[in-house]
Chain A
Amino acid sequence: MRQGKYPFIFGFLAAPVTLYVVFVIWPYIQAFQISLTNWNGFSAPKYIGLDNFKNLFSDDNFVAAVEHHVVMLIALPLVTVMIALFFSFLLNLGGKLQGGQLRGVRGANLYKVIFFLPQVLAVAIVGVLFQTIYQKGDGTNVPDGVINGLLHAVHLPTIGFITNPAVALWSMIGVMVWQAVGFYVVLFSAGMASIPKDLFEAAALDGAGRFTLFFKVTLPLLWDTLQVGWIYLGVAAFDGFAIVQVLSIDNGGPNHSTTVLPLEIYRNAFTYSKFGYASAMGVVLFFMTLTFAALTMRVTRRDSIEF
């Protein structure tokens, strides 16, 4: 058995590793290579050193996109995790103490389904949906959308959710949060379900309120799940392509106020035929994502609590 170990492992791994190398690793290497050229997709590529990377810094659209990712990187995980934690806490432990057992609020399972629903909608549908939810009317011929209709009804000023450059990026983040919350509610619910109930009950019997229960018991025990969620959301914050593409004005507008890196990459490659330059952006995005993941792991590292 000992002798056959390596051929055995190799036999199992050969196919997936080959696929991974051909379809993941190799394209990455190629992107690195293309980023050093001025390839336009047709003529033979010419190596131009690091020129593409130098040009990135004087490219207003690229700089704007990076700034947007910084905002999204902070806002998206923070808001999503907070809302998702709040909901999952209510769903799992928010109810009354019944027969010495903590339960969620009534109808918790139904709420879980409702929260999860946005997750299964295609982004294109979400985009069209929010086009009408966010719409701002002109008071006469263009009707208000759902939110502005409500604002109007209570005599508050309406908001140009996608037309006002100061608000547009937040509107995009809003949609991303709306779509993501459901998944993290389910993820955190699963995390909370794996925490032994008697810990909560013991704390509750000792007189801990909901607040204490949440911060002193739930949060520390949920740390690993939280960390995973945070990284997922951070990676999602480096994307945003689809929602910006379908919802924003002029793909990333108005005046580039919602543009994101994947959109700039797509535009440079497939609209402007600047594959070399687009690859350079891709390489930068690769390192940004990698750095973020590594940093998050490092900063949030704690001794896990055994139970």
Chain B
Amino acid sequence: MSEVKSQGIDRRQLLQRVGLTALIAGPGISMLSACATGGSTNSTSTVKSNTGNAANPFGVKAGAPLDVVIFKGGYSDDYATQSHEVLYVKAFPGAKVTHEGIVAIGKTLQPRFTGGTQIPDVIDNSGTDLMDNAALVAAGQMQDLTQFWAAPSVDDPKVTVKDSVLAGAMESGVLAGKPYLMNYVATTYGLWYNQALFDSNGWTAPKTFDEFKALCEKIKAKGITPFAYAGKNASYYMYWLIEMTAAKLGGNQVLLDIDNLKDGAWTADPVKKAAAAWAEICQKYSDKSYLGLIHTQVQTLQDQDKVAFYPSGDWLENEMKKIAPATFKYTIAALPDVGGDQMAYPAIRVAPGEAFFVGAKGANPAGGMEYLRRMLSKEGAQGFFQKAGGMTVVKGALEGLQLSAGATSVVAAQKAAGAGIITDSRFENWYKQLETELRTQTNLLCYGGGTADAFCTNMQKAADKIKADSSITKQTR
């Protein structure tokens, strides 16, 4: 719904489509592989193994130039020119950083990768014209980031880069078994409420579904709708909740199984329980009239304290900035436990995105990794937050900063969750047909008098249909 979300979908969608490509990226891919096999490019620079020097773990040569390409989209590229590149130059005073902020990443860079000239060191491979990651890996164009993640972090040499980011952030960049991508931006999902309203009534966010239902009764008694989502155009906000609760109950494997179209993934017990739990909430503590509303209508009702809980990602506060009254304190809540949860409260979903990679055949891959390492410093993450308005995968990067109510609550929720990070669901973009059916079934379940059993059976049927359809390219994770 927000710009951030829609961009994410487009990018991932394109990622998927470009993956199938023969027509558009096809020639590029074959040329890429031709280069890789033909050996027309001579990679002169190699990365020395970890030097053990915390200030320069990859052994960047002093004064070596660095070529950075940033996708100039919703986040623009000020965060690079005014923060990250400045940080890099400060650490390596003689280095000359060449910056390119471009929209059409693929059109600009594909010829350079295929030609083997002017290959950048750091690439923000995003936007609607991004390059096919799998093809780049196959062509040996991406630097393996294993030693990057194992290197000491900028802020604390005792902590590795991997441990300085949120759980699951490194894994989200694994391609063909190795970490090639560094996903930088983190989007957090949960239930949103108005802290001011809750404080004035003495309510607290629930930790279990029993508490949730008890609280809903109290909220209802006040004439406020306890929970609602917009059925007309944003039923996917609702199925995120079902996905998250299923993952809490049965672990992230439940969502991986669904993504991998595993037999019986939808009829698994955690999914059924999650669907039943949310169906009860919708049917008892929401109203069918919300089925006919769009997201801005429901969000506005929440801003007027007519709806207590609303599911969304962390763009919500920014999206409603002009409508929500000044007294409204957006706060994110982790989902309550159904009972017997493997990922107990306060586990939360954080989806990493905006992938960066280092050009393996560029002039300065060590510098590229060093640049990524600086990006993942707290200072780099704060620079991104200030210039681009997005939160990053860097743990606790925004602590101590003066933040909005919503952002503060997101930072706190991430910290409280610790290792309890619910993974994202990729089938939503891989198999749009399944996603469309999920919207229909979610609306049926929540506002159409459906049952959890019917929900699971119908979804399994739809998933089986996708699996059996040979015209759809299958993906796994």
Q: Do residues A254 and B471 form an inter-chain contact, with CB atoms below 8 A?
A: no
Q: Give residues of chain A (221-273) contacting chain B, Cβ–Cβ below 8 Å.
A: 249-250, 253-256, 267, 271-273
Contacts of A273 in B (CB 8 A): 17, 20, 432
In the bound assembly, the distance between CA atoms of A44 and B432 in angstroms comes to: 21
Q: Is A134 an interface residue (CB 8 A)?
A: yes
Contacts of A277 in B (CB 8 A): 471
How many positions in chain B have a CB within 8 Å of any CB in the partner chain? 36
Q: Which one, B22, B225, B444, contacts A141 given CB within 8 A?
A: B225
Is A141 a contact partner of B17 (Cβ separation < 8 A)? no
* Interface: B443 (CB within 8 A): yes
Pair B289/A142 contact, Cβ less than 8 Å? yes
Q: Does A163 contact B (CB under 8 A)?
A: yes
A163 proximity list for chain B (CB < 8 A): 231, 288-289, 291-292, 447
Name the segment of A35-43, A108-116, A195-203 touching the other chain: A35-43
Contact partner of B432 among A165, A249, A255, A271, CB < 8 A? A271
Name which of B152-160, B310-318, B414-422, B433-441 contacts chain A. B433-441
A135: interface (CB < 8 Å):
yes
Indicate whether A162 reaches chain B with its CB closer than 8 angstroms: yes
Q: What are the interface flags for B431-468 relative to A under an 8 Å C-beta threshold, 1 for contact and 0 otherwise? A: 01100100110011001100000000000000000000
The 0/1 profile, CB within 8 Å of B marked 1, for residues 128-161 of chain A is 0001001111101110000000000000000011
With CB as the reference atom, state the residue of chain A lying closest to B304: A141
A254 close to B291 (CB less than 8 A): yes
B448 near A255: Cβ-Cβ < 8 Å: yes
- Do the beta carbons of A272 and B432 come within 8 Å of each other? yes
- Determine if A43 and B436 form an interchain contact, defined as CB atoms under 8 angstroms apart: no
Task: With both chains docked as a complex, state the minimum distance between the C-beta of A40 and any C-beta of chain B, in angstroms.
Answer: 6
**A163-B447, A256-B440, A272-B432 known; A40+B287 contact, CB < 8 A:** no
Interface string of B299-313 (1 = CB under 8 A from A): 001000011000000
**What's the minimum C-beta distance from B290 to chain A, rounded to whole angstroms?**
7
> What count of chain A residues pass the 8 Å CB interface test?
33
Q: A42-B22, A165-B448 are in contact. Are A136 and B289 (CB under 8 A)?
A: yes
Instruction: Evaluate contact between B287 and A138: CB separation under 8 angstroms.
Output: yes
Given A142-B287, A163-B291, A255 and B20 touching (CB < 8 A)?
A: no
* Contact (A253, B443) CB under 8 Å given A141-B224, A160-B288, A271-B436: yes
Residue of A40, A42, A250 near B235 (CB, 8 A) is A250
Report the Cα distance A165→B225, complex, angstroms.
24
Q: Nearest chain-A residue to B292 (Cβ)?
A: A163
- A206 to B443 alpha-carbon distance, docked (Å): 63
The answer for the CA separation of A271 and B433 in the assembled complex, in Å, is 8
- Distance in angstroms from B460 CB to nearest chain A CB is 15
Within B265-303, which residues are at the interface with A (CB < 8 Å)?
287-294, 301
| B61: interface (CB < 8 Å) | no
Instruction: Report if B232 contacts A (CB, 8 A).
Output: yes
The listed residue (B26, B235, B289) touching A138 by CB distance below 8 A is B289
- What DSSP secondary structure best describes chain A's contact surface? loop
| Chain A residues, CB < 8 A from B440 | 250, 253-256
Q: Which residues of A contact B21 (CB under 8 A)?
A: 42-43
Chain B residues in 8 Å Cβ range of A255: 440, 443-444, 448
Q: How far is the CB of A274 from chain B (nearest CB, A)?
A: 7
Residue B233 CB within 8 A of the other chain: yes
- Which single residue of chain A is at the shortest CB-CB distance from B230? A249
Interface centre among B17, B289, B292, B473 (most CB of A within 10 A): B292
**A250-B443, A272-B432 known; A135+B292 contact, CB < 8 A:** yes
Which residues of B have CB within 8 Å of A256? 440
Instruction: For the complex formed, measure the closest distance between the CB of A67 and the CB atoms of chain B, giving whole angstroms.
Output: 17
Beyond A249-B231, A272-B433, whether A42 also contacts B448 by CB under 8 A is no
State how many angstroms separate the Cβ of A296 from the closest Cβ of chain B: 34
Which residues in A have their C-beta under 8 angstroms from that of B24?
42
Determine how close the nearest CB of chain B comes to the CB of A279; give it in whole angstroms: 13
Whose C-beta in chain A lies nearest to the C-beta of B231?
A249
Structural contact, B471 and A38, CB atoms closer than 8 A: yes
B443 touches A254 (CB 8 A): yes
Is A254's CB under 8 angstroms from B224's CB?
Answer: no
Whether the Cβ atoms of A42 and B443 lie closer than 8 Å is no
| B38: Cβ under 8 A from any A Cβ | no
> In the bound complex, what is the Cα–Cα distance between A271 and B471 (angstroms)?
14
Question: For B20, B291, B301, B439, which residue has the most chain A Cβ atoms within 10 angstroms?
Answer: B291
Report the bound CA distance from A138 to B231 in whole Å.
Answer: 14
CA distance A250 to B239 in the complex (A): 13
CB-CB nearest in chain A for B450: A255
Q: How far is the CA of A256 from the CA of B458 in the complex (A)?
A: 14
A134 near B443 (CB under 8 angstroms)? no
In this assembly, does B400 line the interface, its C-beta being within 8 Å of a C-beta of chain A?
A: no
Q: How far is the CA of A184 from the CA of B358 in the complex (A)?
A: 64
Q: How far apart are the CA atoms of A43 and B21 in the complex, in Å?
A: 6
CB B184 to nearest CB in A, in angstroms, measures 28
**A43 and B232 contacting across the interface, CB-CB below 8 Å:** no
Q: Which residues of A contact B233 (CB under 8 A)?
A: 250
Q: Does B177 contact A (CB under 8 A)?
A: no
Kindly report which residue of chain B lies nearest to residue A247, judged by CB atoms.
B232
Complex partner residue of B23 from A42, A250, A254, CB under 8 angstroms: A42
Contact of A142 among B23, B301, B436 (CB under 8 A): B301
How far, in angstroms, from A165 to B448 measured CA to CA in the complex? Answer: 9
Contact A43 B20 (CB under 8 A): yes
When distances are taken between beta carbons in the complex, the residues of chain B under 8 Å from A271 are: 432-433, 436
| A249-B291, A250-B443 known; A138+B448 contact, CB < 8 A | no
- Nearest CB of chain A from residue B232's CB, rounded to whole Å: 5
Cα-based distance from A38 to B469 in the complex (angstroms):
11
In contact, B444 and A138 (Cβ under 8 angstroms): no
Give the Cβ gap from B42 to chain A, nearest Cβ, in Å: 33
Q: Which residues in B have their C-beta under 8 angstroms from that of A142?
A: 225, 287, 289-290, 293, 301
Interface centre among A44, A138, A161, A256 (most CB of B within 10 A): A138
| Cross-interface CB contact of B448 among A43, A136, A161, A254, cutoff 8 Å | A254
9 CB < 8 A contacts A-B: A42-B24, A134-B292, A138-B290, A141-B307, A160-B291, A250-B443, A255-B444, A273-B432, A274-B471
A163-B447, A250-B233, A255-B440 given; 14 more Cβ-contact pairs under 8 Å: A42-B22, A43-B20, A135-B289, A135-B292, A136-B292, A137-B289, A138-B290, A162-B292, A163-B292, A249-B231, A249-B232, A250-B232, A254-B291, A254-B448
Residues of A within 8 A of B (CB): 38, 40-44, 131, 134-138, 140-142, 160-163, 165, 249-250, 253-256, 267, 271-274, 276-277
